[in-house]
Amino acid sequence: MSRMNLLQAVNNALDTAMAADERVLCFGEDVGVFGGVFRATSHLQEKYGRERCFNTPLVEQGIVGFANGLAAQGSTPVAEIQFADYIYPAFDQIVNETAKFRYRSGNLFDVGGLTIRAPYGGGIAGGHYHSQSPEAYFAHTPGLTVVIPRNPHQAKGLLLASIRSPDPVIFFEPKRLYRASVGEVPDEDYELPLRQAEVVKEGNDITLLAWGAQMEVIEQAAEMAEQEGISCELIDLRTIVPWDIATVTDSVLKTGRLVVSHEAPLTGGFAAEIAATVQSRCFLYLESPVERVTGLDTPFPLTLEKEYLPGPLKVFDAIHRSMNF
């Protein structure tokens, strides 16, 4: 075990993957000598050479198109998009190509080796273009797997599983936690399961569901609620799609109440999908409507970032609404 932050855990996972399999390549803007603007790819070029870890020209559609081709050829590309906010030039390559490669060819060809990493989320005074949580755009595209870790241990295990998954994965990293989240991480090679949510704390009165950096927020809200004697069950969805319906509905069948929280705007956010599924599968067991605590239906602001964000107090208020319905 080593104590490391989330960024070091990502770096460690990439190092582990590259050491274990020479087909694994890491590339993107500034990932070479510099090791990435956040340093997630530090020393990888030094260790594995310029052919396996390199800077690309500044063109996201090119990066993902190139990565699609590499994956089709049988390599295992791990492409970095510098910020999730800058993934959109690659949207066509991801939505029309990555997601449909296997389906459209009847499995003659696939890009299962592909992993796209991108830092996402707010709370760092990043304004419109360094704060977005675009998971719902990709969740709406069958064929993609979207994974988001909440801490260093999860980051390493889930990233290794993503790299080795037979399907292409978009791996969003909570950049607010890059240095803020520190924990024990096994030194060895390990994988954590994709498509499986995790009950991180058991409780009886209400289920709180989130992913990534928002887990820390619902944990804080749960602590406030517990002081009032409300027992919260906390679930980290981990894989956004394909999502683990059973773990969520099992919990809601027990507690009868659900609060889902994400930073992205309310309308069309992934909480909507979860709420719809839960109400159809747990209808007679629900004590109150499913609460969504999310960002506002606006672009991500700067000065009033705290007002925009679904912080612990907003989740806490939602717990009250649910309990007092």
Partner 1 sequence: MTTTRSAAKTVHAPAFTNGDDIHIPLFTLLKPDGKPYAGGATISLDEEKARRVYRAMLYTRILDERMMAAQRQGRLSFYMQCTGEEAAVIGSTAALKDDDMILAQYREQGALAYRGFTTDEFMDQLFGNERDPAHGRQMPIHYGSRALHYQTISSPLATQIPQAVGYAYGQKLAGTGNCTLTIFGEGAASEGDFHAALNMAAVHKVPVIFLCRNNGYAISTPVAEQFAGDGVAARAFGYRMQSIRVDGNDILAVFEATREARRLAVEHNEPVLIEAMTYRLAAHSSSDDPSGYRSKKEEEAWRKKDPLARMQRWLLDRGWWNEEEERELTETLRREVLETMKKAEKRRPPALGTLVSDVYAETPPLLAEQLRELEAHIQRHPDAYPKSAPWLNEEGGSAREESRA
What the block records as the tokens of 10 is 């990502």
Q: What is the DSSP letter of 264?
A: E
**Region class of 85: left (phi > 0), else alpha (psi between -120 and 50), else beta:** alpha
Say whether residue 313 binds partner 1 (CB under 8 A): yes
Q: Taking a C-beta distance cutoff of 8 angstroms, is the pair 297, 262 a contact? A: no
Q: Taking a C-beta distance cutoff of 8 angstroms, is the pair 235, 208 a contact? A: yes
Q: Taking a C-beta distance cutoff of 8 angstroms, is the pair 139, 241 a contact? A: yes
Q: Taking a C-beta distance cutoff of 8 angstroms, is the pair 228, 324 a contact? A: no
Say whether residue 299 binds partner 1 (CB under 8 A): yes
Is residue 60 part of the annotated active site? The answer reads yes
Q: Which one of residues 69, 127, 183, 242 is an interface residue with partner 1 (CB under 8 A)?
A: 127
Say whether residue 128 binds partner 1 (CB under 8 A): yes
Which one, 54 or 243, has the nearer CB to partner 1?
Answer: 54
Which one, 199 or 224, has the nearer CB to partner 1?
Answer: 224
CA separation for the pair 237, 129 (Å, rounded)? 25
Which one, 246 or 313, has the nearer CB to partner 1?
Answer: 313
Site string for partner 1, 25-64 (x = CB under 8 A): ----xx-xxxx-x----------------xx-xxxxxx--
Could you say which residues in the range 144-203 bind partner 1, by CB under 8 A?
A: none
Which one, 59 or 245, has the nearer CB to partner 1?
Answer: 59
Q: Exactly one of 29, 60, 219, 291 is catalytic; name it.
A: 60
SS (H, E, C) 109-138: CCCCCCEEEEEECCCCCCCCCCCCCCHHHH
Q: Which one of residues 130, 150, 176, 257 is an interface residue with partner 1 (CB under 8 A)?
A: 130
Q: Exactly one of 29, 80, 97, 130 is catalytic; name it.
A: 130
Binding residues for partner 1, rule CB under 8 A, total: 42
Say whether residue 325 binds partner 1 (CB under 8 A): no
Q: Which one of residues 88, 91, 190, 285 is an interface residue with partner 1 (CB under 8 A)?
A: 88
Say whether residue 296 binds partner 1 (CB under 8 A): yes
Q: What share of the chain is helix, strand, coil (3-state, %, to 5)?
A: 40, 20, 40
CA separation for the pair 168, 46 (Å, rounded)? 27
CA separation for the pair 222, 229 (Å, rounded)? 10
Say whether residue 307 binds partner 1 (CB under 8 A): yes
Is residue 153 part of the annotated active site? The answer reads no
- Residues making contact with partner 1 (CB under 8 A): 29-30, 32-35, 37, 54-55, 57-62, 85-86, 88-89, 125-130, 266-267, 296-299, 301-304, 306-308, 311, 313-314, 317
